[in-house]
Amino acid sequence: MTRDLVLTIARECGFELAGIAAAVPSIDSARYHAWVDSGMAGAMSYLTDRRATVRGEPRNLLNSVQSILCVGKLYNGPEPNSTRFSESGRAWISRYAWGDDYHEVLRAGLTRVVDRLRGHTDFEYKICVDTGPLLERSYAREAGLGWIGKNTCLINQQSGSWFFLGELLLSLSLETNTPPPDRCGTCTRCIEVCPTDAIVPFEGRYSVDSRLCISYLTIELRTGIPEALRPNMGNHVFGCDICQDVCPWNSRAPNDADSEFAPRHFAPPLNELASITEAEFRTVFAGSPINRARYSGFLRNVAIAMGNSGEPRFQEHLVRLAKFPQAIVSDAARWALERAQ
């Protein structure tokens, strides 16, 4: 079994990016723990509990692991990005959530890789797609997929940062790839354009303070969003792409033609989202990452986006949401109504 054969199979199974990293403790472990200790993980307990202690050691996931196949799956499309979209009264949903849930797509692709490799040799393995306690961007960098930018996204020189990451831990000894140099240089566009100033200096480099990040606020935070941050959230109801939209390396990013990531939920009207029932929410967003925000969190985000729109036509919806039984929704709706006055 050779590295070239593994990478060829990975690409034939639908991954545009592929590389091999050594299954050794991550050099970013200390930095990660310092980030957690600083409080910048916010309320994301899965990043701070006992799982935080095992993220930098692949053998905690597979004792026999010797190599890590890191893959990238492109999801960019021809649709306009958030900084070039200004249609009034519509919600912005992060590009990664327009289509099918990437967890399932990547897991299926990595399963195909396993099946193909098993035709050549026997081995032990473990598939990881985002949910496993692994510093995946760090290992993807070591596998040569890209460098970690100031916005903490993994950036590939040819393909930009519009790709999902997945890992296949293997008990096979394979030649490793070489990490590329950091090519962000003196560019600070992502830092300057972030509406909530979430990209901050950290230990001689930059990191994202989740507590200020629109993606965290609209997806991970289960409580009310701090009022001081709400005006800068704009029309974002699930995630945020701004730091990627302005990245020069994404200006020539290729488009992905896979139907799984074709937009099912591109900039839907805010009034339609405000009227959706919980049952409809589960149906409309079945198989979509948007479910992670939960129904009440999603309505909270919609109410804030309506308040930021400044459009009086949303008042009727906000009055109704102000009576919602869960406080995170009713509070956001009352705040939005006050902004309209």
Active-site residue numbers? Answer: 130
- Three-state SS for 238? strand
Torsion, CA 220, CA 226, CA 227, CA 231, rounded to 10: -40
Nearest 5°: the CA angle 303, 305, 310 is: 100
Euclidean distance between CA atoms 202 and 208, whole angstroms: 9
3-state secondary structure 162-180: CEEEEEEEECCCCCCCCCC
Among 253, 252, 274, CA closest to 321: 274
Sole residue written with tokens 């309209």: 340
Sequence-distant (≥ 6) Cβ neighbours of residue 219 within 8 angstroms: 238, 239, 292, 293, 297
